[in-house]
Amino acid sequence: MVKKVVSSLGGLLLLFPAMAFASEPTPTSVLLGVNLLWVMVAAILVILMQGGFILLEAGSTRMKNAGHVAGKTIFTVGLGSLIYWAVGYGIAFGENGNLFIGLGDFFYTPSMTITDDVVPSSLFWVFQCAFAVISLSIAWGGFAERAKLSSYLIFTIVFVGFIYPVVAHWIWGGGFLAEDGAQDFAGSTVVHLSGAMAALAATILLKPRIGKYNKDGSANQILGHNQVFTALAVLLLWVGWFGFNAGSALGVDDGFFGFVAFNTQLGAAAGAVAAMLITWIVLGKADITTMLNGALAGLVAITASCAFVDPWAAVVIGLVAGVFVFFSMKFFEKMKIDDPIFALSVHGAAGVLGTLANGLFATPELVAYNGVGKAGLFYGGGWEQLWVQFLSVVVCGAFVFIVSFIVLAIIKSVMGFRVSEEQEIIGLDLSEHGAYGYPEQMKKGTNLNA
Amino acid sequence: MVKKVVSSLGGLLLLFPAMAFASEPTPTSVLLGVNLLWVMVAAILVILMQGGFILLEAGSTRMKNAGHVAGKTIFTVGLGSLIYWAVGYGIAFGENGNLFIGLGDFFYTPSMTITDDVVPSSLFWVFQCAFAVISLSIAWGGFAERAKLSSYLIFTIVFVGFIYPVVAHWIWGGGFLAEDGAQDFAGSTVVHLSGAMAALAATILLKPRIGKYNKDGSANQILGHNQVFTALAVLLLWVGWFGFNAGSALGVDDGFFGFVAFNTQLGAAAGAVAAMLITWIVLGKADITTMLNGALAGLVAITASCAFVDPWAAVVIGLVAGVFVFFSMKFFEKMKIDDPIFALSVHGAAGVLGTLANGLFATPELVAYNGVGKAGLFYGGGWEQLWVQFLSVVVCGAFVFIVSFIVLAIIKSVMGFRVSEEQEIIGLDLSEHGAYGYPEQMKKGTNLNA
Amino acid sequence: MVKKVVSSLGGLLLLFPAMAFASEPTPTSVLLGVNLLWVMVAAILVILMQGGFILLEAGSTRMKNAGHVAGKTIFTVGLGSLIYWAVGYGIAFGENGNLFIGLGDFFYTPSMTITDDVVPSSLFWVFQCAFAVISLSIAWGGFAERAKLSSYLIFTIVFVGFIYPVVAHWIWGGGFLAEDGAQDFAGSTVVHLSGAMAALAATILLKPRIGKYNKDGSANQILGHNQVFTALAVLLLWVGWFGFNAGSALGVDDGFFGFVAFNTQLGAAAGAVAAMLITWIVLGKADITTMLNGALAGLVAITASCAFVDPWAAVVIGLVAGVFVFFSMKFFEKMKIDDPIFALSVHGAAGVLGTLANGLFATPELVAYNGVGKAGLFYGGGWEQLWVQFLSVVVCGAFVFIVSFIVLAIIKSVMGFRVSEEQEIIGLDLSEHGAYGYPEQMKKGTNLNA
């Protein structure tokens, strides 16, 4: 708001409030301001990633579900934010916590400004809230094209209010895995593996979509309806990931956030290239869906390690993730686990890979810089860090899977988890919302069972 | 441009010009730089919101008008920027103004750099220009699917050159409402209500679209063609709104901009949740369009109050806006006011709500911090601020509506405002531009009167 | 990563690492941090522009090629980034270079942090890498709808590994054109003209698409399939261009980057307006494609001159570019050069125009500020700078065209450059990737030869 300044007729000199408050800015206070600005920008970028998820999930599914898929993302981001404000943040970062859970700061009210060198916690909350709802959006991959809208509502409350914050507390909030020296810079485990494990629980309980498997057990491809959407989705996610990864430096300071961004770019690039080439070689055709998943797998894998490894290792991690995601997609399909958005492969498999990579590639210099854990196996650190990384994957993965499975099983038995066969066939746009998301195109007579 | 530095062979030390100019940076000069950077980022975010409007308006209308709807946004943003440069900025913020209008600074030429502690006004202009064309894009909601392209051209000139800047001057540029202590931090009234009042004038003069109302007065739903677009639109607007609201702090300073962002996130989230639930309860189906409008209504409502209220109040304001927008949509439809993009409900009704909310919820601490007006009714401030807020809504709303109505009525009588019935039926893509925006899909034989 | 801080129980005071490192921040070190932050933001914006290219190229082409067009952008951005890391950066900016080529810094490993006032080169690399792959994405305009996927792979390697970095070295990396005082602030020549010349070589070698020209030599319009995509593309590119242009100031410093942003907004706006009006006047219909190209042409043209000209000149340059692009589009069509995405007009013609504009409009003050070249003809600088600008256009344009032509001719003769007639008719989605990008819409029986 400009008013107070211009109307005081002080001219341009006073246009910016800065000049008023800055009677005695110090280098330290200004650095704090710079760091806050980066956290703000990073939080905005992570929220922008939801645009990527809208497009990725909508583009990977069928036209009859497009409005539902896109719309529910906005709804659950909204609901998740309120829940994280009321409960989740306090469980992750509440001051009166222990090694297993945080407590306090419910219905969080941040300080208005920086006072006495205390950071305005408002921006830290916005950044963390954005992470929580990203993990939630990953989980929706397992719900796609067949879960009831009401199950989204209930699961948002449980996941953002309890499941995710507990894992965040363990690794980032001073919990027991933090004490063990688990390295997960921006959340390969906390955000991506958690989301994927919830998706796994959901997809197992929901069973495959109608038409996904034939009676002889062979699988059909159910193609998504719009690859322009999925390609643009990957680009938006790639862009937002700079906020996700480099933003996790939580400040500009000595420029380390730039090094993190550098590794992020290499990991993503390597993932896309490796996935494209592996499909070209194995299938004889360069499959676009796999390539796009490769870019995302590279990003997911480098998320844990971006601050701990050298650039050449970032390339290796991305390449491995890109190849790995291809075989993971094949594996889950063979296992009769229907994973429409490939959340299990992109966020689960690559999330595990990325977390373990620290145990191999973490360099002594970067470990010392970050002050967390030990160097990796290839740098003379022995097996210790790899074990810690393995442990954090298993513990967090199991916790999220089990709690999600129980909650969703209760939903399933109490109120129903999956829409009826008829509803699934006509699509969730009509069955859950009463109108098509593409009314003009759908009424022309699409084969609804396509 | 890197050249001068690298070619001077000074090595990396000189790669960044900073090092050259920074012979004597002071904490104050650096803080000024940080604040400028935030204004730059915020301006970029507000311009990105036009991507949201492209998708929102195109997605909410029919395929036969999609190219027109999307394309005219770029055209009017371009034209509006030139007009704001030539005239509008001078009327809003020109130095030789009075309580009713600014004067000066036409064909604006900003200072090249900061000199003698004077802020480079270039960025202040870019930020304000972005606001002006946002208000314009809101107004287009009332023109949609039936106004002639030529009327967009004329109205852009009048709205950005005169109508909007006058209101901006009254509240932000030292005008009489500023003197009265009107609180409108980022423009619930200046930007959103102004746009909505112009849309109202347009939609009344244009009359409803063919097929919107039956002979017995009952209304038909004319569904938009693409809910993936509208959901992505809301996400882009949500993201851009951090520039809109937190950017209006015009600097990083003491971190207050983070508090504004915090409230913005809560207001948007609450709006989406409340709107979804109210349709679920009232209609038995969770309507996606209403939910999306609820998120936007929450954002519009919190725009005036984000810097003046506590977080819990931000949630309340968002919840009320989300419910309110649902009934407002019903109300305007019943009144036979055809509002294709819901500009009257989302930007008008919620804009009023948000402006009045300050009169109820503004806290003494935040009022003191901002130095504008008084505390609200619920905080012991009495009715005074509520009255000022009411006054600014009425005065600004009436001014924009009346002037817009007169201008558009003149357009209507002189050159025609609405396309012919035949043109409307075949769609504006063909009638105004000679080609479909979706040529492959349209030629397959859509029912053009759909 | 938050862990190390919170788990040390230091409370919010220690939440942000800043506080730890900032034992002795100085104004200079903090200014360095601010500048880094702007380079980070600018790099992210330039990467976001790839989202614009995905939508622009997909929207301007037909549905049967949409998945291919969108997907290959992600793939080539990935591959290009790896190549730029391995080779390209070293050729552009490697320390052991001469006037013609840089050498060194292959498989680039940046410093982890700022040490001893040396900038962390990580961010400089990310920014430059983003530029390189933008130039590449421009080149794809000439490949569209008929080149084999394998040719994209090979040409990415050559273009990002050699062609582009050589030009970048000549003008930005201390090469002979830099020594001559060539002014190209953000790359009208380096990025845009280079991309366009590669596109020209490709489109000449590929020959026009099936159905573009009739036997009598007359041209058919092959409309793109989605103008919502192309309009949104222009908006994303416009937004990203603030990173491109104002980011090229490589720092915040004295606020000059704001002046650059100001001129950028005016140039883009003028381009859109001029192109819309010229089609309206000449054709009697306001053509949306031309108008969108006008906005881009304004942006391309102001790219070289944004730091060297006054705002009124930015408007003039944009207006001329908008008119020019209309006639250029006509010219290339008449010349039987099939340019599906209008790369030759938007990036080529406007790139030349913008580079030459410096020779006319560069002001003495801005030339002195930037320390490159001389003032333009209209400001008493004589013909000298215009000659230098002309020379840089001719030399760079010829170099890129000739090398690209040779490389692509070799591809053509060795492995084939264009898909078979049958493959082109069924579309590249099927022929190159085995599945439609829009499977539900395509199977309804589009006329594939449309």
The ipTM estimated for the assembled molecules is: 0.95
Whether the pLDDT of residue A185 is over 80: the answer is yes
- Domain hosting C140: range is 30-433
Residue B222 lies in a domain: yes
Q: What is the pLDDT of residue C3?
A: 41
Tokens matching residue A325? 């995601």
pLDDT in tens, B84-98: 999 999 999 998 899
Per the CB < 8 Å rule, is C123 touching A242? Answer: no
Contacts of C435 in chain A (CB under 8 A): 221, 223, 287-288
Tokens matching residue A13? 């000199």
Chain C residue with CA closest to B123: the answer is C258
Calpha distance A402→C126 (Å, rounded): 41
Residue B2 confidence class, pLDDT cut points 50, 70, 90 = low
Per the CB < 8 Å rule, is C54 touching A242? Answer: no
Residue C116 confidence class, pLDDT cut points 50, 70, 90 = low
Calpha distance C425→A95 (Å, rounded): 64
Per DSSP, C217 falls in state S
Whether the pLDDT of residue C232 is over 90: the answer is yes
Per the CB < 8 Å rule, is C439 touching A225? Answer: yes
Q: What is the pLDDT of residue B448?
A: 44
CA B379, B381, B384: angle at the middle one, nearest 5? Answer: 140
Chain C residue with CA closest to A26: the answer is C27
Per the CB < 8 Å rule, is B441 touching C225? Answer: yes
Cβ atoms of C345 and C339 within 8 Å: the answer is: yes
Per the CB < 8 Å rule, is B436 touching C223? Answer: yes
3-state secondary structure of A283: helix
Closest CA to A66 of A327, A322, A440, A338: A440
Residue type, B401: F
Query: Chains near A, with 3+ CB pairs < 8 A?
Result: B, C
CA C22, C25, C28: angle at the middle one, nearest 5? Answer: 150
Q: What is the pLDDT of residue C447?
A: 44
Cβ atoms of B85 and C247 within 8 Å: the answer is: no
Per the CB < 8 Å rule, is A6 touching B250? Answer: no
Cβ atoms of C261 and C303 within 8 Å: the answer is: no
Per the CB < 8 Å rule, is B269 touching A50? Answer: no
Chain B residue with CA closest to A61: the answer is B228
DSSP string covering C115-138: BTTB--HHHHHHHHHHHHHHHHHH
Per the CB < 8 Å rule, is A172 touching C68? Answer: no
- Average pLDDT for A58-81: 98
CATH number at residue A385: 1.10.3430.10
Q: How far is B442 from chain A (nearest CA, A)?
A: 10
* Helix/strand/coil (H/E/C) assignment for every residue in C219-241: ECCCCCCCHHHHHHHHHHHHHHH
Q: Percent of chain B, pLDDT > 70?
A: 92
| Torsion A299-A302-A304-A306 (CA) sign | negative
Q: How far is CA C74 from CA C48, C49, C71, in A?
A: 12, 12, 6
pLDDT in tens, A6-25: 433 333 333 434 334 445 89
| Torsion A380-A383-A389-A393 (CA) sign | positive
Chain A residue with CA closest to C106: the answer is A312
Tokens matching residue B86? 């030539």
Calpha distance B322→B275 (Å, rounded): 4
Per the CB < 8 Å rule, is C253 touching B33? Answer: yes
Q: What is the pLDDT of residue B20?
A: 44
Calpha distance C24→C41 (Å, rounded): 26
3-state secondary structure of B95: strand
Residue B169 lies in a domain: yes
- Average pLDDT for B277-295: 97
pLDDT in tens, A332-362: 999 999 999 999 999 999 999 999 999 999 9
- Average pLDDT for B366-389: 96
Whether the pLDDT of residue B13 is over 80: the answer is no
Print burial letters for B120-159: b (CB count within 10 Å at least 16), e (below 16). Answer: bbbbbbbbbbbbbbbbbbbbbbbbbbbbbbebbbbbbbbb
Whether the pLDDT of residue C4 is over 50: the answer is no
Average of per-residue pLDDT values in chain B: 92
Cβ atoms of C50 and C137 within 8 Å: the answer is: yes
Contacts of B174 in chain A (CB under 8 A): 3, 6-7, 9
Chain B residue with CA closest to A54: the answer is B232
Cβ atoms of B119 and B40 within 8 Å: the answer is: no
Q: What is the pLDDT of residue B7?
A: 33
Residue B123 lies in a domain: yes
Token pair 């360095």: residue: C32
**Integer-rounded Cα radius of gyration of chain B:** 23
Phi first, then psi, for residue C219 (nearest 5°) are -100, 145
Residue A182 lies in a domain: yes
Contacts of B223 in chain A (CB under 8 A): 435-436, 439-440
DSSP string covering A198-252: HHHHHHHHH-PPTTSB-TTSPBPP---S-HHHHHHHHHHHHHHHHHHHGGGG-S-
Query: Chains near B, with 3+ CB pairs < 8 A?
Result: A, C
Residue type, A152: Y
Residue A330 lies in a domain: yes
| Torsion A152-A156-A159-A164 (CA) sign | positive
Whether the pLDDT of residue A274 is over 70: the answer is yes
Whether the pLDDT of residue B293 is over 70: the answer is yes
Bridge partner list, C103? C95
- Average pLDDT for C166-191: 95
Contacts of C37 in chain A (CB under 8 A): 34, 37-38, 41, 252
Q: What is the pLDDT of residue C448?
A: 44
Query: C139, exposed or middle or buried, with CB in 10 Å at 0-12, 13-18, 19+?
Result: buried
Tokens matching residue B207? 């009359």
3-state secondary structure of B111: coil
Count of alpha carbons within 13 Å of C2, Cβ hemisphere only? 27
Residue B114 confidence class, pLDDT cut points 50, 70, 90 = confident
Whether the pLDDT of residue C9 is over 50: the answer is no
Count of alpha carbons within 13 Å of B261, Cβ hemisphere only? 35
Q: How far is C427 from chain A (nearest CA, A)?
A: 14
| Cβ-nearest to C30 among A31, A312, A444 | A31
Calpha distance B59→A238 (Å, rounded): 25
pLDDT in tens, B316-342: 999 999 999 999 999 999 999 999 999
Residue C253 lies in a domain: yes
* Distance from the first to the final alpha carbon of chain B: 53
Phi first, then psi, for residue B381 (nearest 5°) are -85, 0
Number of domains in chain A: 1
Calpha distance A44→B242 (Å, rounded): 7
Per the CB < 8 Å rule, is C79 touching A269? Answer: yes
Residue B24 lies in a domain: no
Cβ atoms of C257 and C45 within 8 Å: the answer is: no
Q: Percent of chain C, pLDDT > 70?
A: 92
Per the CB < 8 Å rule, is A18 touching B31? Answer: yes
Tokens matching residue A258? 């730039």
Q: How far is B155 from chain A (nearest CA, A)?
A: 26
The total number of residues shown for chain C amounts to 450
Mutation site, B31, B54, B369, interface A, largest A CB count within 10 A: B31
Print burial letters for C232-266: b (CB count within 10 Å at least 16), e (below 16). Answer: bbbbbbbbbbbbbbbbbbbbbbbbbbbbbbbbbbb
| Cβ-nearest to B178 among A3, A37, A119 | A3
Q: How far is CA B141 from CA B61, B200, B300, B327, C229, in A?
A: 10, 9, 15, 18, 20
Chain A residue with CA closest to B310: the answer is A109
Calpha distance B261→B255 (Å, rounded): 10
Mutation site, A232, A325, A388, A444, interface C, largest C CB count within 10 A: A232
pLDDT in tens, B191-213: 999 999 999 999 999 999 999 99
Phi first, then psi, for residue A95 (nearest 5°) are -70, -30
Token pair 């009424």: residue: A443
Per DSSP, B12 falls in state G
Cβ atoms of C395 and C180 within 8 Å: the answer is: no
Whether the pLDDT of residue C430 is over 90: the answer is yes
The total number of residues shown for chain B amounts to 450
Per DSSP, C189 falls in state I
DSSP string covering B188-254: IIIIIIHHHHHHHHHHHHH-PPTTSB-TTSPBPP---S-HHHHHHHHHHHHHHHHHHHGGGG-S-TT
pLDDT in tens, A369-415: 999 999 999 999 999 999 999 999 999 999 999 999 999 999 999 99
Residue B16 lies in a domain: no
Cβ atoms of A430 and A420 within 8 Å: the answer is: no
Chain B residue with CA closest to C372: the answer is B4
Q: What is the pLDDT of residue B320?
A: 98
Cβ atoms of B443 and B429 within 8 Å: the answer is: no
- Average pLDDT for B158-165: 98
Directed axis angle between helix A27-59 and helix C27-59, to 10°?
20
Print burial letters for C98-126: b (CB count within 10 Å at least 16), e (below 16). Answer: eeebbeebeebbbbbbbeeebbbbbbbbb
3-state secondary structure of C45: helix
Per the CB < 8 Å rule, is C231 touching B73? Answer: yes
Per DSSP, C76 falls in state H
3-state secondary structure of A103: strand
**Strand locations in C286-333 (E):** none
Average of per-residue pLDDT values in chain A: 92
Q: How far is CA B366 from CA A136, B317, B357, in A?
A: 34, 16, 14
Calpha distance C106→C109 (Å, rounded): 8
Closest CA to A74 of B270, B55, B349, B314: B270
